[in-house]
Chains A and B, each alone.
Chain A
Amino acid sequence: MAEGPGAAPPHDCPGTSSAQAGRAAACQGCPNQGLCASGGVAAPDPAIEEIKEKMKTVKHKILVLSGKGGVGKSTFSAHLAYGLAEDETKQVALLDIDICGPSIPKMMGLEGEQVHQSGSGWSPVYVEENLSVMSVGFLLSSPDDAVIWRGPKKNGMIKQFLRDVDWGEIDYLIVDTPPGTSDEHLSIVQYLSSTHIDGVVIITTPQEVSLQDVRKEINFCHKVKLPIIGVVENMSGFVCPKCKNESQIFPLTTGGAEKMCQNLNISLLGKVPLDPQIGKSCDKGQSFLSEIPESPATSSYRNIIQRIQEYCGLHHSQEKII
C-alpha cells in the first residue's frame, strides 16, 4: 500500500494549486508540467481562510466516498442525513458535490426547488427545520439541463458551496461525492484543509469489480490524510419476497468488503441488503427509514448511523481534551 509522502506512486498529480505543482516527482513527463510550474505557483487560495471561518459553526464533517459508481453513495448520504436529523435537537446539512450527476434533490424530495440569495449568501433548501440541503440541482432550470463543465468550473462551484452558503449553526455536515479521485475530491479536501474533517465513510458493493476501485479510493484517503470512519457494504444479498431465499446478485467473489477491511485494517460499519423499497423511497424523495421501519435494511442503516455518531462523539471529546 502506498502510504506516506516518500512512497507516493507515480501518476499522482499534486493539484494545480499545490506548491508542488509542476515540481513533484509525479509531474515528470506530465504534459502540463511547464504550465503548472510556471503558472504563478498559486499562493494558497484566500477562500481556504474564508471557508475556515465559515466552518467554525459546523461541528462535524463527514464525507461519503467510493471509487465506484452507483454503489449507493447518494442513497447512503441521504439516509445518514435523514437518520441524524430524526433527533430534533441536531442541525444537519447535506451538501451534494456531484456537479454533473446530482441525485440528492430527488432523493430528498426537493426536485424543482431553487436556492435563494440572502444577505449572508445563498440559503440552502430545507427539508425540515433541522435538515438543510445544497446541490447544483437547485441551480438548474430544467430537468434536461446538463452541467457540461470541466474541472476548474466544478471546483469553483464547490468553493462557492463551502464559502457562500449560509449554513448557520450545524451539528453534522454530510458531503455526497461523485465516484472517482479527481477534481471534486481534491477540491473538497483542499478547501476544507484548514478545518477539521471528522472522517470518511466509504461505500462499496460486494463484488470485486467494485472493490478494486474502492481500494484506490482508500489509497487516496491515505494520501491526503483523510481519516476513514469505516466501510459500508451496500446491496449485499437479496431476499426474495416470495420464497424468502437469498440470492447474491453481486457475489462476494473475493470475500466482499469484510475481507478487504480485514486486509487493510479498517472498520466495516455494516452491510445493507438489496431492498426494492429503497429505490422506491429514493424516487419518491422520502426517508426509507421512516417509510419501512421494519425492513432489515432499515435496522442495518440505523446501526451504521449509530456507529458514525459514536465515532464523531468520541472524536469530538478527544479533541476537546487535547
Chain B
Amino acid sequence: MEETGLRGNLAGVKHILLVLSGKGGVGKSTVSTELALALWHTGKKVGILDVDLCGPSIPRMLKAQGKAVHQCDSGWVPVFVDQDKGISLMSIGFLLEKPDDAVVWRGPKKNALIKQFISDVAWGELDFLIVDTPPGTSDEHISTVESLRPYKPLGAVLVTTPQVVSVGDVRRELTFCKKMGLRVIGIVENMSGFVCPHCSECTNIFSKGGGEELAKHAGVPFLGYVPLDPHLTQSLEEGKDFIQEFPKSSAFPALAYIAQQIMDSTAPQGS
C-alpha cells in the first residue's frame, strides 16, 4: 500500500518526530511526555507512540496505566489521555495482562510488533506523532526508522545528560541518524544542574555543558538545558500535567522553549 502512495493509518498525521538517545535514563520518555503536553496546550493534536517494549514509561507518565486499546475497523484505537482526545497514546503497556509482566522478546518479535504499531494504529488526525524509544541503536530503532521512512518523519530530537559517559553514547546515536538518513532536529541537555530548594546553590550533579558541546561539535542545533527539577520527577510519577501545574518551576522555560523550536521547525513546510 505504501508503494501506491497511500499513508494508511498515518494519512492524517502531519509531522512525525522521534525522541532518541544512545544512553539510558537520560529523559527520553520525560521529553516525549512534556513535549506532547506542551504542544497540546498550544492547541495541537498529539499522538505518542511508545516503542520501548521492555520498559514502557509513557502510560504512567500520562496517568493512563490500566487503560485498554480497542480494535476498530481500521486497526487499534489508541488510548486517549484527556477527555477531548487531544493526546492519544499507544504503548505495549496497554497489552500486558499484569503491569509487572516482563516482555522477554528477542529482536524479530519486537520488530513485528513495532511494524504493527506503525501500520495498525488508527491515529486519525494528528498535528504531531511523537515516538519515544528505548536506548540504543538496535532492533527497535532500525525497525522504527525503516518503517517510518515512507512517511517522511520530520526528524529526531536527541536527549543527553551532560556527563562524558552519556555524551559518548549520544555521539554514536548521531552516527546512527546520519547512516539512517534521519534529520537531527537538535540536542537537549537534560538533568543539567540542580538548584537546592533550601539555599539556591546550584550543583552540577551530572556535570554541565556536555550536550551543548556535542551539538557544537556535530554542527546540529542545541535545544537547551533542562535542569534537574524535583517537581518534574514528581509530576511524572503521578501522571500530572507539569506544563500546566508548575509554570514557575525551573524546568518549565526550557521545556517550553524546546516545544517552540519544534513548532518553528515545522513552519517552513507549512502546517
- Which residues from chain A sit less than 8 Å from chain B, CB to CB? 1-2, 9-13, 15-16, 30-32, 35, 67-71, 74, 99-101, 103, 106-107, 143-152, 154, 178-183, 185-186, 205, 207-210, 212-213, 215-217, 219-220, 223, 238, 240-243, 245, 247-251, 253, 274, 276, 279-280, 282-283
Contact = CB atoms under 8 A, between A and B. Distances in A.
B45 interface: no
B233 A250 contact: yes
Nearest to A224: B104
18 contacts: A9-B97, A11-B95, A12-B103, A13-B105, A67-B55, A144-B175, A145-B175, A148-B138, A183-B106, A186-B104, A208-B60, A209-B60, A241-B203, A245-B199, A249-B233, A274-B205, A279-B206, A283-B164
By CB atoms of chain B within 10 A, which of A146, A149, A219 has the most?
A: A146
Task: Name the prevailing secondary structure of the A interface residues.
Answer: loop
A207 B105 contact: no
A234 to B, nearest CB: 11
Contacts of A106: 164-165, 168
A214 B98 CA distance: 14
B102 A181 contact: yes
Nearest to A137: B168
Contacts of A251: 230, 233-234, 237
B104 A181 contact: yes
Contacts of A242: 196, 199, 201
Contacts, number: 243
A143 to B, nearest CB: 6
A101 B234 contact: no
Given A31-B112, A146-B175, A216-B54, A240 B201 contact: yes
Interface of B: 22-26, 29, 53-55, 57, 60-61, 95-112, 134-139, 141-142, 161, 163-166, 168-169, 171-176, 179-180, 194, 196-199, 201, 203-207, 228, 230, 233-234, 236-238
Given A70-B24, A100-B22, 4 more contacts: A67-B54, A69-B26, A179-B135, A242-B201
A103 to B, nearest CB: 5
Across the A-B interface, give the 4 residue pairs with the lowest CB-CB distance, nearest first. Answer: A70-B25, A69-B24, A151-B107, A180-B54
Given A182-B110, A220-B102, A253 B172 contact: no
A52 B144 CA distance: 37
B256 to A, nearest CB: 21
B106 A182 contact: yes
B179 A148 contact: yes
A178 B109 CA distance: 19
Nearest to A71: B25
Contact of A32 (B22, B99, B112, B203): B112
A213 B199 CA distance: 34
A209 B237 contact: yes
Given A212-B60, A279-B206, A180 B172 contact: no
Contact of B104 (A13, A148, A253): A13
Given A182-B110, A209-B237, A216-B54, A151 B100 contact: no
A217 B196 contact: no
A279 B22 contact: no
By CB atoms of chain B within 10 A, which of A68, A74, A179, A180 has the most?
A: A180
Contacts of B230: 247-249, 251
